[in-house]
Amino acid sequence: MIDCRYFEPATMAEACSLLAEYGQGARIVAGGQDLSLLLGCGKIEPEGLVSIHKVAGLDDIAVVDAGIRIGAMVTLQRLGSGEEPVAQVLSAAVPQIADRQIRNRATLGGSICAAHPGSDINTILMTLDAALTLVSNKGERVVGVEDFLLDAFSTATQPGELLREVVLPVPEQMRS
pLDDT at residue 63 is higher than 60: yes
What confidence score (pLDDT) does residue 174 get?
55
34-52 residue pLDDT tens: 767 777 777 767 789 899 9
Residue 84 has pLDDT above 80, yes or no: no
Check whether 171 has a pLDDT greater than 90: no
In whole angstroms, give the CA distance from residue 56 to residue 168.
21
Per-residue burial over 76-99, b = 16 or more CB atoms within 10 Å of its CB, e = otherwise: bbbbbeeebebbeebbebbbebbe
- Shortest CA distance to 61 belongs to which of 70, 53, 52? 70
Each residue's pLDDT tens digit, 131-157: 999 999 999 999 999 999 999 999 999
How confident is the model over 81-94, as a mean pLDDT?
77
Higher local confidence (pLDDT), 167 or 66: 167
Residues 6+ apart with CB under 8 A from 64: none
Q: Average pLDDT of the chain?
A: 88
Average pLDDT over residues 161-172: 88
- Dist CA 176 CA 60 (whole Å): 22
The CA-atom distances, in angstroms, between 34 and each of 8, 21, 28, 43, 146 are 19, 23, 11, 11, 21
Picking from 73, 57, 54, 59, the residue whose alpha carbon sits closest to that of residue 9 is: 54
Predicted structure pTM score:
0.89
pLDDT per residue over 95-131, tens digit each? 888 888 888 889 999 999 999 998 899 999 999 999 9
Backbone phi, psi, residue 41, to 5°: -90, -5
CB 75: neighbour CB atoms within 10 A? 21
Angle at 1 between CA 4 and CA 108, to 5 degrees: 65
3-state secondary structure of 62: strand
Partnered with residue 107 across adjacent β-strands are 75
